[in-house]
Amino acid sequence: VVTYTTMLDCLYKNGNKEEGKDIISEMKSRGIQPNLVTYTTMVRGVCESGNMEEVEGILYEMKSRGLYPDLVLYTTMIRGLFQIGNTEEAERIFFEMKSRGIFPDVVTYTAMINGFLRSGNKEKATSIVCEMESNEVSPNLFTYNVLIHGLIHTGNMEKAKAIFCEMKRRGISPDVVTFNTMISGFLSFDLWEGAKEIVCEMSALGIQPSVVTFIVLTGKLIRKGRFSQVDQLLRFMMEKDESPD
């Protein structure tokens, strides 16, 4: 099972849905039954293509074999549902898991917050943050990244800065994703000074810029017609051995 599940995971991650199906039928024909991990992998793969009926089918098959979703599968489903824009169903599943006595962890809460923020439900996102606090689940790096991203996209750069400070105060070190998000925020509000400062802070902390960092920077600079700076960035990127793909 482990071998098959691992293969399936790789196939899905490379967008190879058809071969995934072959693997599933092959394992079944060899009398190897999928387990919870296999089903979760399947659900995640199927969610990418937004096919809810297929997900239903998987859940049905599980039930008929006496298997029920666990924490990880619920979280996977929640993410998938938000991805296809089915907020109500995501909420329903979140409720269902709790009523089954499965307690959401940081990952689940972060997925909920992210989903609500992206679907424009700021109040609901906030209430999840409260729920999380009252259940004594602490936000982690991912949670902060999601929050910062959401604040920037709702036009609240000041609040984003505040949260950025809060995370540091609470001993959570921002990573390259945090910085990319912050840089992108500053640039989209034309806050050049702020962008500069944050880039300095990033390098002072020894955090290496990623390909995304360069994409963010060049994208905004090009839009502003600052081609000489773009040129500098590209040279710098080559020196760092980053392929500008």
Partner RNA sequence: ACUAGGAUCCAUUCUC
Site string for RNA, 24-43 (x = CB under 7 A): -----------xxxxxxx--
Q: Is 127 in the site for RNA (CB under 7 A)?
A: no
Q: Which is nearer to RNA, 114 or 233 (CB)?
A: 114
Count interface residues toward RNA (CB under 7 A): 48
Q: Which one, 44 or 161, has the nearer CB to RNA?
A: 44
Q: Give the nearer residue to RNA in terms of CB position, either 29 or 36.
A: 36
**94 near RNA, judged by CB under 7 A:** no
The three-state (H, E, C) secondary structure of the chain, written as one string: CHHHHHHHHHHHHCCCHHHHHHHHHHHHHCCCCCCHHHHHHHHHHHHHCCCHHHHHHHHHHHHHCCCCCCHHHHHHHHHHHHHCCCHHHHHHHHHHHHHCCCCCCHHHHHHHHHHHHHCCCHHHHHHHHHHHHHCCCCCCHHHHHHHHHHHHHCCCHHHHHHHHHHHHHCCCCCCHHHHHHHHHHHHHCCCHHHHHHHHHHHHHCCCCCCHHHHHHHHHHHHHCCCHHHHHHHHHHHHHCCCCCC
At its nearest, how many Å lie between RNA and the CB of residue 111?
A: 4
CB of 178 to RNA, least distance (A): 7
- Residue 208's closest CA among 168, 244, 175, 233? 175
Which of 105, 131, 201, 242: binder of RNA (CB under 7 A)?
Answer: 105
Task: Give me the amino acid identity at 80.
Answer: G
Pick 1 or 205: Cβ nearer RNA: 1
Contact set for RNA, span 58-77 (CB under 7 A): 70-76
**Per CB under 7 A, 156 contacts RNA:** no
Q: Which two tokens stand for residue 161?
A: 């800065």
Instruction: Please report whether residue 125 would count as binding RNA according to CB under 7 A.
Output: no
Query: Please, what is the angle between helix 192-204 and helix 176-188, to 10°?
Result: 170
Q: Which is nearer to RNA, 90 or 241 (CB)?
A: 90
Q: Does 111 bind RNA (CB under 7 A)?
A: yes
- Minimum CB–partner distance for residue 219 and RNA (Å): 4
Site for RNA in 177-216 (CB under 7 A): 177-178, 180-181, 184, 210-212, 215-216
Residues that bind RNA (CB under 7 A): 1-2, 5-6, 9, 35-41, 44, 70-76, 79, 104-108, 110-111, 114, 140-143, 145-146, 149, 176-178, 180-181, 184, 210-212, 215-216, 219
